[in-house]
Structure 1
């Protein structure tokens, strides 16, 4: 492989970094908005006992049914939907309300709140929603930290690749270098080669660590990188870029050695 076969100034890792930065911004905004949403829900007056007789929890945070459709006092489910639309739903405008609520509150709560907007928002349902919000807030905090780790990992890979890009010279330029300059160039390539291989190892360790942390936190996405990079051409853009960089190093090392032999 020759160095022209990969554009080291615009790799899949560069695209991955833009994706991570955007997702981190969205997650940080969600943490701000989920606090606003929680405050709105916490301040809502629950419907009286009679109006919520139809709601039942299943013992594990799930929802089996919903309140009476004719509350006499207190807020209704539609008020919660409106509060969500004014806060968390603004973080990702491209997502529709149903999908957004399902993602942030869970499918069961989204279904109940959206289906029965005129039903009373009883105290039991209110507490269940607040518990779901607290759980999601904890997940978002873990996700924000994981995205920070991912951003640093991708950034380190890009820095190494860009250093390699700056060190590459054309065949014509190699012809103009003397023995000492060629040896120096070869040494630089070996250093960058080793750096990329070390980053591959570190990247694998980072992937394992962040996946474990996300799973332990109960995040709904089984694979953070799979979720992040589903629109890119590869599931592992950073490893792919670093592997390509190693191949470029090996190719150029071989070319430089050929010129060193000629210069002896």
Structure 2
């Protein structure tokens, strides 16, 4: 009897997310590179804007905004071309560009980059943008590493489940009534071995669930939180645990039937 599994669907889901984060990483790399290539002028007149870290960013006002296109305009354009499409991909409603900048880069930089602020990009602001982009790249890289770990776990579970279910299907074609005592003993031992394999897979999966993916000792991503994000719309929260547990239950039923036949042959 085939076992219902959500592992293939989970693999498809992880692959889709990996594709998304790979594209977002490339977008941030381009955004960071383009911002770093700007040549902003030091501020001549400054005002303080609150930063996410509790300090202040100096912003230039006045003369630079006489130009047709300022560095702040260029940064907004770059952000819109590169990062924004990936940030709003899952939104059902339209989000203003500055709101997306606020979500991705923080309140302080969103304030500096707002057209109505009458400010432009100084070297300090440029460095802050590049630093925030680098932080986001580290977070994306940690997520990609965690997705790779999830893919490996899913693939290993899929191989085990396919192997065991094929064995069950092949051996179910032979009636237990047609087996001798030694053959029944062998069948019982084989089922025990398959159940041990399931137990090992469950233990390995638990280890993965409780793991944390770190990147450069700066970004730590708990795997359990990743699973909540990935499988929130799935009928089961833990595709591997659910599938392997049902498979083990099937093997236990088969083993119980073999044991009943062995008892009758004594």
Looking at structure 2, the residues matched to 88 and 227 of structure 1 have their Cα atoms a distance apart, in angstroms, of 21
Partner of 2:175: 174
Where do residues 13-162 of structure 1 align in structure 2 (5 Å cutoff)?
A: 13-46=7-40, 48-50=42-44, 53-58=46-51, 60=53, 68=61, 71-72=65-66, 75-91=70-86, 93-95=89-91, 101=101, 104-106=104-106, 109-110=109-110, 113=113, 116=116, 119-162=119-162
Alpha carbons 1:36, 1:87 under 8 Å: kept: yes
More off after superposition, 195-204 vs 221-230: 221-230
Alpha carbons 1:41, 1:126 under 8 Å: kept: yes
More off after superposition, 32-41 vs 226-235: 226-235
Looking at structure 2, the residues matched to 131 and 61 of structure 1 have their Cα atoms a distance apart, in angstroms, of 16
5+ long unaligned stretches in structure 1: none
Looking at structure 1, the residues matched to 37 and 54 of structure 2 have their Cα atoms a distance apart, in angstroms, of 21
The size of the alignment, in residue pairs, is 256
Please report how far the alpha carbon of residue 38 of structure 1 lies from its aligned counterpart in structure 2 after TM superposition. Answer: 0.8
More off after superposition, 99-108 vs 186-195: 99-108
Looking at structure 2, the residues matched to 64 and 14 of structure 1 have their Cα atoms a distance apart, in angstroms, of 49
Instruction: Tell me if 1:197 matches 2:192.
Output: no
Please report how far the alpha carbon of residue 68 of structure 1 lies from its aligned counterpart in structure 2 after TM superposition. Answer: 4.4
Residue 199 to residue 71, structure 1, CA distance change in 2 (3 Å): same
Please report how far the alpha carbon of residue 120 of structure 1 lies from its aligned counterpart in structure 2 after TM superposition. Answer: 1.9
How big is each residue's C-alpha offset from its partner over 1:145-196, in whole Å with a ceiling of 9 and x where there is no partner? 2221111111111111112211224867434642354444333321121111
Looking at structure 1, the residues matched to 31 and 7 of structure 2 have their Cα atoms a distance apart, in angstroms, of 35
Residue 218 to residue 145, structure 1, CA distance change in 2 (3 Å): closer
Q: Which has the larger radius of gyration?
A: 2
Please report how far the alpha carbon of residue 71 of structure 1 lies from its aligned counterpart in structure 2 after TM superposition. Answer: 2.3
Instruction: Tell me if 1:206 matches 2:208.
Output: yes
5+ long unaligned stretches in structure 2: none
Q: Tell me which of 234, 237, 251 is aligned to 2:236.
A: 234
Q: Kindly indicate which of the two structures has a greater share of residues assigned to strand.
A: 2
TM-score, normalised to structure 2, is 0.77
Please report how far the alpha carbon of residue 221 of structure 1 lies from its aligned counterpart in structure 2 after TM superposition. Answer: 9.4
Residue 221 to residue 189, structure 1, CA distance change in 2 (3 Å): closer
Please report how far the alpha carbon of residue 117 of structure 1 lies from its aligned counterpart in structure 2 after TM superposition. Answer: 8.4
Give the aligned CA root-mean-square deviation in angstroms. Answer: 3.6
Alpha carbons 1:182, 1:256 under 8 Å: kept: yes
Please report how far the alpha carbon of residue 130 of structure 1 lies from its aligned counterpart in structure 2 after TM superposition. Answer: 0.8
Residue 49 to residue 100, structure 1, CA distance change in 2 (3 Å): closer
Looking at structure 1, the residues matched to 178 and 132 of structure 2 have their Cα atoms a distance apart, in angstroms, of 66
Looking at structure 2, the residues matched to 31 and 226 of structure 1 have their Cα atoms a distance apart, in angstroms, of 22
TM-score, normalised to structure 1, is 0.77
